[in-house]
Structure formats: structure tokens, C-alpha cells
């Protein structure tokens, strides 16, 4: 078993290690490892206008996606959790999990068919890119919120507050949203990580000036290998920072009293 674990870890870390080595290698052609040592690829990456624009687009789309998913996800998850009939809850869960089951290529081709028509000529626009990211990431936030609502048994908390005279707005702002702050923060960080790294859907529906970072990064692999490795390491760094932030969000807040931590 330790050998299997070691082989699995090697399988996971070897490509990342090669990318890190390649990003500081001066030349890498027809050999297992690059030759020479340089930090110039990162300088070229910073000075490349297309990569700076793509990075800005990715961050903008990521922030907009997080905001929209939060505005949609919290009330929708609350409605699904509060549905009185089990069949309604099951049907709603199937619907919001459909984007996870459907491949991104299917979603992308659907966007192309709908938004490339004369009546809806929005293919390539920035807001359509945000919409695509919302569709593909919303199920992950919804799943996190609904699971946390069940864990907290919000029905009991809201019933107690209602018996004390609290209205719907008071219960929502005073009980529901504060109770979900931990799952909401970790869920949004997951949404951010997925949005930053999303490629397949973005590659199909993004316009030339609204191409996110992963789409532009693919084109770098047709050029200098070190430049592409440096760009990939930057994307990997963003993913690692998102994962660490998600873990910190899960541990940083105290466990709820009366619930298992």
C-alpha cells in the first residue's frame, strides 16, 4: 500500500515539477529536462499585453461570477431546502445539478446555437462569458449551501425565531445568512477556483478581446516552452491560493454550538 501511494503521489506531482523546472529553464527541446537557468520567462509573461489583458478578464469574470452566484444561489438554495414536498426538492436538485452532468462542450454548443442567431447576437460578449461561468459553477455552491442547511437544521432555528415574533426578513438576515457564512465563503472560493481555471466553455463562447487566461495560455504552448510553463505556473499558483483560502475558510470560523464540528 505505501508503494501504491508513493506511485500515485509521483504521478500527481511529476507533471507539476516538470512545469516548474521548465518555467526557469533556458531551453527545452527534445530532452527530458531543460538546459540552462533563467527567470526571463516570467518577465516576458508580465510584459506580454495579451496575457495581461487575459488575466484581467479572468479576474473580472471571476468576481462577477462569484457575485451573481451568491445573489442567485442563496435564495435558490433556501427555497429548495424549504420546499414542503420531497418530490419538489428532488426535482429542483436534479435541475440545478444538470450543468454538472452535462459536459462543458454540450453547454458551449448550446450557447453558440442560441446566442449566435440574428435575434440574440451576443456570442463573444463579456456578459455571456460570465453567464456561462455562472451556469457551470452555480451547482457547486448550491450543493454546499443546501448540505449546510441540513446540517444546521435551519427549520428548527427559524421555528424558534418565528415563535418569538421574528418576521421572514428578520429570520433571513438574522439567522439564515449568518449561519451560512462559513459554507458561503468556502463555496464562493470554490466557484472562484473553477471560474479561473475554466477552459472548454470559455474557449467556445469567448470573443477575441474577452478571452480568459486559460484560453490564451493554450496558444502559448505553440511557441516557447518556457514561456508556456511560466504561464501555467501562474495559473497553478492561483489554484493553490484558492484551495488554501477555501481550507482557511473552513477552519477559521468556530464550530456551531450544538452541531458536530
> What does the pLDDT read at residue 255?
46
What pLDDT is stored for residue 245 in this prediction?
67
Q: Is residue 119 part of a domain?
A: yes
| pLDDT at residue 172, as a whole number | 76
Kindly state whether residue 6 falls inside one of the protein's structural domains.
Answer: no
Residue 12 lies in a domain: no
Q: How far apart are CA 174 and CA 168, in angstroms?
A: 10
CATH of the domain at 93: 1.10.3720.10
Residue 178, pLDDT score: 85
pLDDT of residue 87: 65
Please tell me the pTM assigned to this model: 0.80
Within-domain flag for 22: no
Mean pLDDT per block of 10 residues along the chain (261 residues) reads: 86 88 83 82 88 90 91 87 67 74 86 88 90 92 87 80 77 82 87 89 88 87 82 84 63 46 39
Cα separation of 217 and 240, whole Å?
A: 18
Q: What is the 3-state secondary structure (H, E, C) of the chain?
A: CHHHHHHHHHHHHHHHHHHHHHHCCCECCCCCCCECCCCHHHHHHHHCHHHHHHHHHHHHHHHHHHHHHHHHHHHHHHHHHHCCCHHHHHHHHHHHHHHHHCCHHHHHHHHHHHHECCCCECCECHHHHHHHHHHHHHHHHHHHHHHHHHHHCHHHHHHHHHHCCCCHHHHHHHHHHHHCHHHHHHHHHHHHHHHHHCCHHHHHHECCCCCCHHHHHHHHCCCCHHHHHHHHHHHHHHHHHHHHHHHHHHHHCCCCCCCCC
pLDDT at 186: 85
Our count of domains for the chain comes to 1
Flag whether 7 is in a domain.
Answer: no
Considering the domain boundaries, does residue 74 fall inside one? yes
- In this prediction, residue 205 carries a pLDDT of 92
> Under a CB-based contact definition with an 8 Å cutoff, are residues 187 and 140 in contact?
yes
Q: Which of 119, 108, 69, 68 is nearest to 206 (CA)?
A: 108
Distance of alpha carbon 249 from alpha carbon 143, whole angstroms: 17
Task: Decide if 13 is inside a domain.
Answer: no
pLDDT tens per residue, range 184-204: 888 888 898 889 889 999 999
Residue span of the structural domain in which 102 resides = 48-217+228-250
pLDDT for residue 259: 45
Residue 121 contacts residue 115 (beta carbons within 8 Å): yes
Amino acid at each position: 500500500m505505501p508503494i501504491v501511494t508513493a506511485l500515485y503521489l509521483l504521478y500527481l506531482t511529476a507533471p507539476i515539477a516538470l512545469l516548474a523546472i521548465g518555467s526557469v529553464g533556458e531551453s527545452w527541446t527534445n530532452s527530458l529536462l531543460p538546459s540552462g537557468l533563467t527567470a526571463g520567462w516570467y518577465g516576458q509573461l508580465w510584459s506580454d499585453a495579451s496575457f495581461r489583458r487575459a488575466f484581467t478578464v479572468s479576474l473580472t469574470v471571476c468576481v462577477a461570477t462569484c457575485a451573481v452566484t451568491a445573489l442567485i444561489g442563496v435564495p435558490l438554495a433556501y427555497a429548495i431546502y424549504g420546499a414542503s414536498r420531497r418530490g419538489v426538492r428532488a426535482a429542483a436538485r436534479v435541475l440545478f445539478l444538470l450543468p454538472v452532468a452535462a459536459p462543458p462542450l454540450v453547454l458551449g454548443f448550446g450557447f453558440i446555437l442560441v446566442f449566435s442567431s440574428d435575434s440574440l447576437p451576443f456570442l463573444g460578449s463579456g456578459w455571456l462569458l460570465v453567464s456561462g461561468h455562472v451556469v457551470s459553477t452555480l451547482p457547486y455552491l448550491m450543493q454546499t449551501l443546501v448540505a449546510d442547511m441540513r446540517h444546521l437544521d435551519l427549520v428548527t432555528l427559524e421555528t424558534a425565531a418565528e415563535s418569538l415574533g421574528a418576521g421572514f426578513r428578520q429570520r433571513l438576515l438574522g439567522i439564515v445568512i449568518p449561519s451560512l457564512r462559513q459554507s458561503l465563503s468556502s463555496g464562493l472560493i470554490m466557484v472562484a477556483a473553477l471560474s479561473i481555471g475554466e477552459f472548454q466553455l470559455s474557449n467556445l463562447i469567448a470573443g477575441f478581446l474577452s478571452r480568459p487566461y486559460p484560453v490564451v495560455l493554450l496558444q502559448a504552448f505553440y511557441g516557447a516552452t518556457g514561456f508556456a510553463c511560466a504561464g501555467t505556473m501562474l495559473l497553478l499558483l492561483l489554484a493553490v491560493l484558492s484551495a488554501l483560502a477555501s481550507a482557511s475558510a473552513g477552519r477559521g470560523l468556530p464550530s456551531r454550538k450544538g452541531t458536530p464540528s
